[in-house]
Structure formats: C-alpha cells, structure tokens
Amino acid sequence: MYNIIRLIMGCIFLVCSIIVIKKFKAIRKHILYIVFTSLSVLLIVVLTFLPFENLFITFDSPKAAYEYYKLGRSNIELIVEGDDCDFIIDRKNDSDIYLIIPKTADGWKIGIVSNTKRIVQKLSNGIVLYVYQYKDTSDYFITILDTNGGESTVSDEYNTKFFSLERYNDSLEKNFVTYYAHITNLNPQYSVIVNDNKIVLENQ
C-alpha cells in the first residue's frame, strides 16, 4: 500500500499537469510534457523516503506496519522486540529481509529501509556478526551466523536472550542457524562469545 499510494499521487500530479498544459497555448507543449513527467517520477521517488502517514496513522502491531510498507506478500518468521522499535525478519526467495519498525506508546509506525542502518560488520573464524540500528535510537539488533554450519552456543555479558532461525542449504547439504537479539547498552567494548570464540566490537 505504501508504494501504491505514492504511485497514485505521482499519477494525479501528472494528470493535473497535463490538463493545465492543454489549457495554455504553449509553443512547445511536448517539452512541458517531458518536464512534468520527469517531475512526477521525481515526486514518487522523494515520497518513498517520506513516510508522511506516520503523522496520522498508528498500527496495532509491527506486522501490520511492515505489511503496509512492504510490496507483495510477507513471510515474517521472527520479530525481535526492542525498547523503541522492533526488528522484523522476513523471508523471500531463500533470502532474509530485515526492517526495523519504530513504535510509540500508542502503537507502531512505518519504518523505511533507509532508516535501518547496519553499523557493525565483523568476521571472525567463519562467524559473521552484524549490528543494526534504527536512525539514532539506542536500540541495537545483532545477527550472528556461523558460516561453517550447524548450531552455535551464543552468550554475552548481559545474559541477552538470543533467538534462532534455522535454514537448510540444499546445495551445501547443511543446516545454518542465524541468531538474533536486541541489545540496549551497546558500546565499543561489547563482546559476544560464539562457540568459545570471543568477538569484541572495538576490534573492527
């Protein structure tokens, strides 16, 4: 619905522009048509980065907010709850899609892809670690995957609860498990232990 509304607004702008152009005796109307068509496309692009609906719409669940924003059918497999936002893990064509949904005291708002920032990327002994943040909030979401396959033991200094999703790779004939968690007090000294391998963020 998010993208459809912006397409409709762009089309309305273009149609209104054409009607106005036809009413004037312009010498080079075709140039004006090209200009306003380009402006319509630009308007659609700009509006995709502006979730103006957040000014007057609040959703009753992170799933509802995500499905409003996403084009096509969703396949949400996990939602990791944070303090000011939630982390959505969606599945499409054997790939994971991540999106952070902000929330208020009244409910959830629309989160857009450009506001979900990957701020940390680590690789240690085949273990891949990413940290995601929504804008400049104090909510951080961590993902951990052992590329060697199989389950892992994951822990940190905060006794954080890690959630897991398992995937089977047909070509490699292996199970791969990704671990997800919400971290509030993230700092450069934060560390996580994966299969007895200590990974410290400051050693990037």
- Domain ranges for the chain, please list them: 2-50, 73-203
Q: What is the pTM of this model?
A: 0.85
What pLDDT was estimated at residue 27? Answer: 66
Contacts (Cβ under 8 Å, ≥6 apart) of 115 = 100, 134, 135
Strands lying side by side in the sheet with 85-92: 76-81, 85-92, 95-102
Q: Over 80: is that where the pLDDT of 72 sits?
A: no
Is residue 64 within 8 Å of 90, Cβ to Cβ?
Answer: no
Q: Over 80: is that where the pLDDT of 25 sits?
A: no
Q: Over 60: is that where the pLDDT of 64 sits?
A: yes
Q: Over 70: is that where the pLDDT of 204 sits?
A: no
pLDDT tens, 102-147? 999 999 999 999 899 999 999 988 899 999 999 888 899 999 999 8
- Report, as an integer, the average pLDDT of 185-191: 85
What pLDDT was estimated at residue 100? Answer: 95
Rounded Cα distance, 174 and 168, in Å: 6
CA quadruple 57, 58, 61, 62: dihedral positive or negative? Answer: positive
